[in-house]
Amino acid sequence: MKLTKRLEAALALTPMSRTIADVGTDHGYLAVALVEMEKAHRVIAIDVNEGPLQSAQAYVEEENMTMRVECRLGNGLTVIEKGEIDGAIMCGMGGFLMKDIIESGPELLPYYVLQPQNGRRELRQWLAKAGYGITDERLVYEGRHFYDVWLVEKNQFASSYYAEVPLASVQWEVGGLAGALGDPLWKAYVSYLITRRQRVLRALRSGAESAESAQKMVVVAGELEELEEML
């Protein structure tokens, strides 16, 4: 399998399903792996750009998977019909874009596997309002960066970890479930987040004073205190 650590984590979190959409499929590696590892009987590999989709199609043909993996050109889940898929995977895109893709689909799906690059707080809280619970969360360290991968399931928010987390908590941005589940990268991840906020705080204190910077210092100092408590 030609998978990065992030895609391996997404594959591991994906429930076994009849049909799965791999949105933003790029080279099609994950789409093929989903069938090879018997996570799905059929996969619809989607990309908005023709070049990557052609690469995916070539890889699917090379792996003799044309009967099980269908490549579609289009904008996210707008190329999917209602009832056609059981879940969708989205990796390596912004949280705001993921929200838009989910909303633009023909229906809210039973589950999503998500690896957002930004907008985590907003995405987590929007999913919560829609009744989705993050039921699994894993950390990956790849290319000197930490990434988080989520399994999000419909009608599971009330029993999920984040149901007990205050809306102002930094956990909506940086996560918390991974720590509760004993992820081996959790302490290193939180230490990294602490170091980043310490740098931001020093920069704010050494810069020009303003009402905006003073407010930001309060927010960052609060996040720093919460992160230190997590360790």
The answer as to whether 39 is a domain residue is yes
* Domain endpoint, select from 149, 164, 179: 164
Residues 148 and 79 placed together within one structural domain of the fold: yes
Residues 22 and 94 placed together within one structural domain of the fold: yes
Q: How far is CA 24 from CA 62, 93, 149, 174, in A?
A: 20, 8, 15, 24
Own/partner long-range contacts of 122-130 (Cβ < 8 Å, ≥24 apart): 122/95, 122/96, 123/95, 123/96, 123/98, 123/99, 124/162, 124/172, 125/167, 125/172, 126/99, 127/152, 127/157, 128/157, 128/162, 128/163
Residues 84 and 130 placed together within one structural domain of the fold: yes
The pLDDT value recorded for residue 210 is: 79
In the chain, pLDDT over 70 holds for what percent of residues?
99
Number of independent structural domains in the chain: 2
Residues 218 and 118 placed together within one structural domain of the fold: no
CATH code for position 34: 3.40.50.150
CA distance 173 to 230: 14
Residues 117 and 214 placed together within one structural domain of the fold: no
Residues 113 and 156 placed together within one structural domain of the fold: yes
The answer as to whether 176 is a domain residue is no
pTM for this model (two decimals): 0.94
Residues 32 and 106 placed together within one structural domain of the fold: yes
pLDDT tens-digit map of 14-45: 999 999 999 999 999 999 999 999 999 999 99
Residues 197 and 139 placed together within one structural domain of the fold: no
Q: Give the number of C-alpha atoms closer than 13 A to the C-alpha of residue 174, restricted to the C-beta side.
A: 23
Residues 117 and 154 placed together within one structural domain of the fold: yes
- 1 band by pLDDT with thresholds 50, 70 and 90: low
pLDDT tens-digit map of 93-127: 999 999 999 999 999 999 999 999 999 999 999 99
CA distance 31 to 50: 17
pLDDT tens-digit map of 71-87: 999 999 999 999 999 99
In residues, how long is the chain? 231
Counting runs of H as helices and runs of E as strands, what totals does the chain give? 9, 7
Residues 16 and 118 placed together within one structural domain of the fold: yes
The answer as to whether 179 is a domain residue is no
pLDDT tens-digit map of 196-226: 999 998 888 887 677 777 888 888 899 999 9
The pLDDT value recorded for residue 216 is: 86
Residues 44 and 148 placed together within one structural domain of the fold: yes
Q: Which domain holds residue 220?
A: 187-230
